[in-house]
């Protein structure tokens, strides 16, 4: 009898311990971002401590949030697979790549979009008037060759310009480089970079210099506005840390609302967090540009998915944009 009671007590202790561990959530997370206006909601979240505040409101005290910056989405993807981060902000094609790659195992999906904005391919080469004029002597800086949103958009443009058989025609001209470094190289570096497929604010800073002109606008390639940056994580993290996940999502919404309602203050946050030397007037002009929209709603993501599947970049295709994102945003009018 005593033995039975002892076994029951041990079983109860194990069960209670297991339940306790199941209910426990992580005490710290790492969030990755890149450079530019497209990551402003994350800058607001960091500067105002919004994730920590939302976590505390959910009963998660003392959540520690670490922030890192990567030059391109390829590095963020590798860090996620290695378990070194929990959330990352990337372009739509890198999300689609990770969704397809982890389908049935890690299950990477989007938390929500951050914004929609056009990004430009600028050049300093006076002889290049369109992408049809590019030669093997030209070099295009972009965040990550073949996989970044700029790289895939360039492939889409190449298909339109040269035909389906030449979708990768311009890939050999591309060089992985962060946007700040790409700007420096385009405006006078010695690396041979004469083109930069970039994003706000860098594209506008470049165009303010004599001799810089635009070859390509992403909205023209996609036929209209499209999501620029999304945030993703794994299904495993979301399932094991539901309160932390929702705290992050609520912080995203709070940051987006702040930007839309307080653009002058949002410009101040950007300048402080980015150390950008651009004027506040210039940043405000971008934030008031009707083509630049901050929203959690995914926009035109399936155009990338359909294209990437067609050319073989991914082996499985999502049926709709909802396959790419977790259910919490499925009530939004996405595409």
Query: Is pLDDT of 258 > 70?
Result: yes
Q: Please indicate, yes or no, whether the overall pTM of this predicted structure exceeds 0.85.
A: yes
Mean pLDDT across 102-112: 93
φ/ψ of 124, rounded to 5, equals: -105, 0
Whether the Cβ atoms of residue 194 and residue 182 lie closer than 8 Å to each other: no
So what's the pLDDT on residue 72?
A: 62
**Buried/exposed 30-57: b ≥16 CB within 10 Å, e otherwise:** bbbbbbbbbbbbbbbbbeeebbbbbbee
Query: Is pLDDT of 23 > 70?
Result: no
Residue whose tokens read 């309602």:
261
So what's the pLDDT on residue 35?
A: 87
Query: DSSP E strands: which ranges in the chain?
Result: 28-33, 64-69, 87-90, 108-116, 120-123, 140-142, 174-176, 195-197, 213-217, 227-234, 293-294
Mean pLDDT lowest for which of 79-83, 129-133, 263-267, 323-327? 79-83
So what's the pLDDT on residue 73?
A: 63
CA pair distance 48, 112, nearest whole angstrom: 20
What's the pLDDT band for 47 if we cut at 50, 70, 90? very high
In the chain, the domains with their CATH numbers are: 25-117+226-329 (3.40.190.10), 120-222 (3.40.190)
Query: Is pLDDT of 59 > 70?
Result: yes
Query: Is pLDDT of 14 > 60?
Result: no
Q: Who wins on pLDDT, 12 or 217?
A: 217
Long-range contacts of the stretch 11-20 (C-beta < 8 A, 24+): none
Whole-number average pLDDT of the chain: 90
Query: Is pLDDT of 142 > 90?
Result: yes
Query: Is pLDDT of 179 > 70?
Result: yes
CA pair distance 195, 212, nearest whole angstrom: 9
Mean pLDDT across 252-262: 98
CA pair distance 298, 32, nearest whole angstrom: 19
Query: Is pLDDT of 84 > 90?
Result: no
């Amino acid at each position: 009898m005593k033995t039975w009671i002892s076994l029951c007590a041990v079983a109860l202790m194990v069960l209670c311990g297991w339940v306790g561990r199941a209910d426990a959530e992580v005490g710290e997370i790492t969030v990755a971002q890149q450079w530019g206006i497209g990551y402003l909601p994350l800058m607001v979240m960091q500067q105002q401590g919004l994730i920590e505040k939302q976590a505390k409101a959910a009963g998660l005290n003392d959540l520690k949030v670490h922030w890192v910056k990567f030059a391109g989405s390829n590095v963020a993807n590798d860090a996620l697979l290695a378990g070194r981060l929990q959330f990352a902000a990337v372009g739509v094609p890198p999300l689609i790549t990770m969704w397809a790659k982890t389908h049935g195992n890690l299950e990477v999906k989007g938390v929500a979009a951050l914004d929609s904005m056009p990004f430009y391919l600028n050049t300093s080469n006076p002889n290049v008037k369109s992408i049809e004029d590019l030669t093997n002597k030209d070099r295009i800086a972009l965040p990550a060759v073949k996989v970044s949103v700029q790289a895939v958009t360039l492939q889409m443009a190449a298909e339109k310009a040269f035909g389906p058989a030449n979708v990768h025609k311009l890939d050999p001209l591309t060089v992985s480089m962060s946007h700040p470094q790409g700007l420096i190289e385009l405006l006078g570096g010695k690396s041979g970079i004469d083109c930069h497929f970039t994003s706000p604010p860098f594209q506008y800073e470049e165009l303010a210099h004599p001799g810089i002109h635009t070859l390509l606008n992403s909205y023209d390639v996609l036929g209209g506005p499209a999501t620029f940056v999304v945030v993703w994580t794994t299904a495993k993290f979301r399932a094991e840390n539901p309160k932390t996940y929702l705290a992050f999502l609520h912080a995203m919404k709070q940051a987006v609302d702040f930007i839309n309602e307080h653009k002058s203050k949002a410009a101040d946050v950007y300048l402080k967090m980015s150390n950008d030397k651009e004027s506040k007037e210039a940043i405000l002009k971008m934030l008031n540009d009707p083509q630049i929209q901050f929203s959690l709603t995914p926009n035109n993501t399936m155009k990338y998915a359909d294209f990437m599947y067609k050319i073989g970049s991914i082996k499985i295709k999502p049926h709709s944009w909802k396959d790419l994102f977790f259910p919490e945003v499925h009530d939004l009018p996405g595409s």
